A and B are shown apart, each in its own frame.
Chain A
Amino acid sequence: MTARERVAGTVANYVDERTGAAKWVKKNLTKVFPDHWSFLLGEIALYSFIILLLSGTFLTFWFDPSAREVIYDGSYAPLQGLHMSAAYESTLHISFEVRGGLLMRQIHHWSALIFMAAIVVHLMRVYFTGAFRKPREFNWIIGIGLLTLGIVEGFLGYSLPDDLLSGTGIRIAEAIIQAIPVVGSYLSYFAFGGAFPGEAFIPRIYTVHVLLLPGIFLALITVHLMLVWYQKHTQWPGPGRTEKNVVGYPLMPAYMAKAGGFFFIVFGVTAFLGAVASINPVWLYGPYNPGQVSAGSQPDWYMGWLDGLVRMSPPIETYWFGYTISWNILIPGLIVPGILFTGMALYPFIESWITGDKREHHLLDRPRNVPNRTALGVMSLTFMLVALINGGNDIIATTFELSINQVMWFSRIAIFVLPPIAFVITKRICLSLQRADRELVLHGRETGRLLMLPHGEFVEVHEPISPELAWKLTAHEQAPALALEDVDARGVRRAGGLKNKLRKRMSEANAESIAKPTVNDLKEIEHH
């Protein structure tokens, strides 16, 4: 035993005698993680969160979350002598007087954008591969919660510096609060401590931004990770991979080194963006003044779709019994997002209701093998993308020499027309890919070599594919549609017939697929 081993042994003994951790640690150091790039998207989000905590803490050392009015006398000449809030002034101070302050501000903002983008691509991966299915529905819901909180947290951060752009954003948020029927103006006066903008809002959202929401984030992320750990990670189908096992690398050492290394990569890339690309140059925006506004006032991208929906909304308000209901704000600002996020959270349950599948799933679906789900996902993304494009309609109009009216009308029509088209096209593509898979398994890979037959005909030589690939392409299940009868065994119509009919229709659409090849098919081909 070397000296080093002796020391390690003593320390381990000391800890274990007080915690009994040896058994747990031993078991988990050999925990197996499957390796695939798409499993790292959630890690990007996790690491961005840590970067946000670190860079955010640095910023709090100088940031003064106060709407108190001060006169600027810092080093940025074009603003010297202007009245502004202490929040804005301290943001300028961080940017220009604190060495590395601007870098940290930019890292903080870039990593917030990366955090949200990573959450979205992670969500897409989980959705399109069916990783949300039993037993992972809770984690899906936690994920939707994190996404929602992320949007709120990001918006609050964007609002804190109290520059012209963030003030414009707060003004719009205030209008949304005010539009809530019955209690809107009360809620707005409570939130702002009186009239807009007041002096209470910045310090209040500061506490929410740096304490309340990060605390909730930490709790939810912990549960999210514990569930991943406990339920073990999903894996792609492939040779040797089943619903009952998990194939991958043990935590120690390879996975630990890779995951730890990836944290530094994410931090490095964020720092690189912070170094080379300017983000939120608040000194150019100027201090907030409700009488001012800039052309092209946009929110950050994760709110852009919301702004796009608000922009494309038709001008409808109703005046009932002397009370105003602003549908032009409520529908795009609260109702549609509410439906979207609720639907997203409930999706695992909706799908299992349609398929009648209540089993555990640990093998992922290849998106093409579940055409309906994939098509629904692409449809939702198309909706979001149209909304997002409209959120930047003015920038798009000037960049591509279009008119904002054209872009707006395009979005207003496209938001209804394009998503269904995307659904149909995606489903067709999925089925074609299934067909291509079938062809590949049955006839092998085209080699490009031509062969002349004795009677002069040319044929291309096909090379059979490996058994591993054949298995990978056929490992999925093809469950038949639910057999739901409108009448029960005694010939009585079932209660909820309409619901049943709907379920049957959806189940049938869901089961539509190209039959995967079997050994029988292969044998038949050999006979020819």
Chain B
Amino acid sequence: MKKISILRRSAFASPLLLVVALFAIGTTFSVASATDKAELTVAQRSAQIAEGKQIFLKGCSSCHGLNLEGAAIAPSLIGVGAASVDFQVGTGRMPVADLSQQIARKEPIYNEAQTAALAAYVASTAPGPEIPTEAMLNFERDGNTAEGGTLFRTNCAMCHNFAGQGGALTQGKYAPSVMGVEPKHIYEAMITGPQAMPVFADKTITPAEKLSIIKWIKAAENEPQLGGAALGRVGPVTEGLLVWTLGLGLLIGVAVWLATKAR
């Protein structure tokens, strides 16, 4: 049973991945164009913060406390910065649906304006990492794929796998796949360290290097199947399964045909 479902996963992983990737790229563009706006005036800004506070009190305060101080089940949000809020809420991880080992990505609950308001409110209480602007995220121009690959393999591959497919952590936690994640969210994850992920500070991995990593991830995401079905890009496990199922299956099938007497 196990074998079959892994195989199914590997066989259908590539088209599925492609659909997910296309969808994600689509979302990225719509999000990017929507947030592309000029500097807000002071008045607009305070209105946005007030709106964010309302959303926070309604949707977040029961876990994170009325003053963002946190509680037993949720961390304090003081000083986490707008980037953290944008990542958690923008990828749908927050508000959380079920308190399992790991909070998974899902369809966002708040729209972009609400997310921006929440981020503005949290950032207004204490300074923290800022949401990277559109100009900061020009990875196509400022990144270097090969250098990004080296950085990825040194800093990211041990959790997220050599091709960014994700991997297991302890006690049921996992590093999610980085395929199809918006560049902004990848960047925010590196500077804020969501959940089990550590922080990759700007001095140890410079912003330019972060863009290289993003550029490499996007290259890996868009890399066509150079040698046929990718088998999930998880290494020799799925290759072994394919040999024992399809490979030996075909060969033994032919052997049975060979040895049956013709009528």
Contact = CB atoms under 8 A, between A and B. Distances in A.
| Co-complex (A, B) | yes
Given A164-B157, A295-B162, A300-B239, 16 more contacts: A40-B258, A41-B252, A77-B219, A110-B247, A164-B153, A274-B228, A278-B231, A281-B227, A286-B150, A292-B154, A295-B159, A295-B160, A296-B168, A301-B236, A395-B234, A406-B172
Interface residues of B, number: 63
A506 interface: no
Contacts of B150: 82, 286
Contacts of B236: 165, 280, 298-301, 304
A80 B173 CA distance: 35
A485 B256 CA distance: 48
A528 interface: no
Contacts of B219: 77-78
Given A81-B146, A403-B171, A113 B239 contact: yes
A106 interface: yes
Contact of B234 (A40, A121, A296, A393): A296
Contacts of A164: 153, 157, 162
Contact of A292 (B157, B174, B175, B238): B157
A37 B239 contact: no
13 contacts: A78-B146, A81-B147, A95-B226, A113-B243, A273-B247, A281-B226, A294-B157, A295-B157, A299-B236, A301-B236, A304-B237, A395-B168, A397-B172
Interface string A224-250: 000000000000000000000000000
Interface of B: 2, 5-6, 9, 101, 145-147, 149-150, 153-154, 157-163, 166-175, 216, 219-220, 223, 225-231, 233-244, 246-248, 250-252, 254-256, 258-259
Contacts of B231: 277-279
A301 B240 contact: yes
A385 to B, nearest CB: 11
Contacts of B171: 403, 405
Nearest to A158: B236
Interface string A279-305: 111011110010111111111110010
Q: Is the interface of A mostly helix, strand, loop or mixed?
A: helix
Contacts of A79: 146, 149
A258 B225 CA distance: 36
A190 B173 CA distance: 41
A210 to B, nearest CB: 22
Q: Which 9 A-B pairs have the closest CB atoms?
A: A295-B167, A301-B240, A403-B172, A278-B227, A294-B162, A394-B168, A40-B255, A37-B255, A113-B243
Contacts of A397: 168, 172, 174
Nearest to A283: B226
A414 interface: no
Given A78-B145, A82-B146, A266-B251, A300 B240 contact: yes
A41 B9 CA distance: 29
